[in-house]
């Protein structure tokens, strides 16, 4: 097995020694830092640990004596997230989720899948809660892995209320959620409009119409807490950002407490009653999308229109086609001049579709649609 892991690690720029360290953690989780250092006498120990955490294949916690311990994430989920992330990061497709795979990428995906499932035999599930009923995430990466581990123990329902900033390691979290939804576990999520255009029309449509996410939209100012509830038993609560009203930072707590989970479930139910089904918002997004593309056809060439469609459909996951930088600059300049896009530092391209709508616009659109029918 070490040869297979070493071969895979070489594909993601990790050494054979890092593979050996990972397999030891996988088989002995949870393992203390003292135990690891006694077992691995290597000057690059800290480097290997940080690499395994950042990928991520492992995460860390504190035991009851406040000593650092390490444990492996579920290997099939973690390695699938790595393969998905590589495909997306190297994509130049106008439809990133359906990126054509060449022979090398197919082999990498197959290798991740094969190794991930084989490693399950050595995997020991380690709850993020541990011995105590609460765990504190010290950074966004740790909170993301705590969340993923807690989702992995869900047996009936998952509820979420969220708005930006979003956690890193989206592929890791989404893969675990998909597995749960496919197993018949209900996933209900309430977000603000920002997430709709940040992720893009097509991605949110797939979430709702194909993946089975029960998604609802609400005004941001009505969200006072950002959280996940797992089986009405575990609560993942994001810490508030004291520097701005109703803001949240990417740190938080995982709490095992039925009473507290019930209280936040009541908050979720109130928000749910005041929210809009994402299907209605998607209808309106399709209407605005068509209008933007019709306007774009008057001022952009085919390449520019295709780019704008990609930006609308895949939001911050959109990738440029293979074009000279000068051509990209010209397309963006024309799109900005004609109010098709706007400058947006939250998007990696520096611009986002020029939506100017709010939920009141959607309400009016819904009324008009109902009257015409």
pLDDT digit string, tens, across residues 160-196: 999 877 777 777 888 889 989 999 999 999 999 888 9
The tokens describing 46, both together, are 């800290």
Residues 198, 168: Cα–Cα separation, whole Å? 14
Higher pLDDT, 63 or 242: 63
Of the ranges 2-11, 36-45, 150-159, 350-359, which one carries the lowest mean pLDDT score?
2-11
DSSP β-ladder status, 227-230 and 157-162: antiparallel
Higher pLDDT, 185 or 15: 185
Mean pLDDT value of segment 187-212: 92
Helix, coil or strand: residue 189: strand
Of the ranges 247-256, 330-339, 341-350, which one carries the lowest mean pLDDT score?
247-256
Q: Which of 372, 298, 284, 279 is nearest to 340 (CA)?
A: 298
Q: Which residues contact 330 (CB under 8 A, 6 or more apart)?
A: none
Question: Is pLDDT above 60 for 346?
Answer: yes
pTM above 0.85, yes or no: no
Question: What per-residue confidence (pLDDT) applies to 322?
Answer: 86
Please state which of the four CATH numbers 2.60.120.560, 1.10.10.10, 3.40.50.1980, 3.90.1150.10 is assigned to the domain occupying 2-122: 1.10.10.10
Q: How far is CA 288 from CA 95, 102, 347, 349, 354, in A?
A: 20, 35, 19, 21, 10
Q: Which of 308, 306, 283, 108 is nearest to 208 (CA)?
A: 283
The tokens describing 351, both together, are 């611009």
Q: Determine the distance from the C-alpha atom of residue 10 to the mean position of all C-alpha atoms in its chain, rounded to a whole number.
A: 25
Q: Enumerate the domain spans of the chain.
A: 2-122, 134-274, 280-372
Of the ranges 114-118, 224-228, 250-254, which one carries the lowest mean pLDDT score?
250-254
Question: What per-residue confidence (pLDDT) applies to 360?
Answer: 81
Question: What per-residue confidence (pLDDT) applies to 94?
Answer: 43
Residues 134-274: name the CATH superfamily.
Endonuclease Chain A (3.30.870.10)
């Amino acid at each position: 097995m070490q040869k297979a892991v070493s071969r895979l690690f070489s594909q993601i720029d990790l050494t054979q020694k890092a593979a050996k360290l990972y397999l030891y953690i996988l088989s002995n989780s949870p393992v203390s830092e003292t135990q690891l250092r006694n077992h691995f006498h290597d000057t690059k120990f800290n480097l290997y640990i940080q690499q395994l955490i950042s990928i991520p294949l492992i995460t860390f916690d504190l035991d009851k004596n406040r000593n650092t311990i390490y444990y492996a994430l579920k290997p099939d989920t973690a390695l699938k997230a790595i393969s998905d992330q590589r495909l997306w990061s190297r994509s130049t497709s106008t439809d990133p989720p359906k990126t054509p795979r060449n022979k090398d990428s197919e082999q990498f995906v197959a290798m991740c899948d094969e190794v991930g499932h084989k490693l399950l035999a050595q995997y020991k599930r380690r709850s993020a809660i541990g011995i105590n009923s609460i765990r504190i995430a010290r950074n966004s990466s740790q909170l993301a892995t705590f969340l993923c581990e807690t989702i992995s123990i869900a047996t009936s329902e998952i509820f979420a209320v969220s708005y930006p900033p979003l956690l890193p390691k989206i592929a890791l979290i989404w893969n675990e959620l998909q597995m749960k939804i496919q197993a018949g576990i209900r996933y209900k999520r309430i977000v603000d409009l920002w997430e709709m255009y940040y992720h893009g029309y097509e991605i949110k449509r797939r979430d709702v119409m194909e993946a089975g996410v029960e998604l609802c939209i609400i005004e941001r100012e009505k969200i006072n807490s950002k959280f996940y509830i797992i089986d009405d038993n575990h609560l993942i609560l994001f810490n508030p950002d004291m520097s701005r009203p109703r803001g949240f930072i990417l740190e938080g707590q995982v709490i095992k407490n039925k009473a507290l989970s019930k209280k936040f479930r009541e908050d979720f139910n109130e928000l749910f009653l005041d929210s809009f089904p994402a299907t209605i918002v998607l209808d309106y997004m399709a209407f605005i999308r068509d209008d933007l593309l019709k306007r774009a056809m008057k001022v952009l060439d085919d390449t520019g229109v295709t780019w704008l469609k990609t930006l609308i459909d895949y939001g911050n996951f959109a990738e440029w086609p293979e074009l000279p930088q000068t051509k990209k600059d010209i397309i963006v300049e024309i799109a900005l001049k004609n109010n098709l896009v706007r400058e947006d530092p939250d998007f990696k391209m520096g611009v986002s579709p020029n939506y100017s709508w709010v939920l009141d616009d959607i309400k009016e659109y819904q009324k008009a649609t109902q009257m015409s029918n």
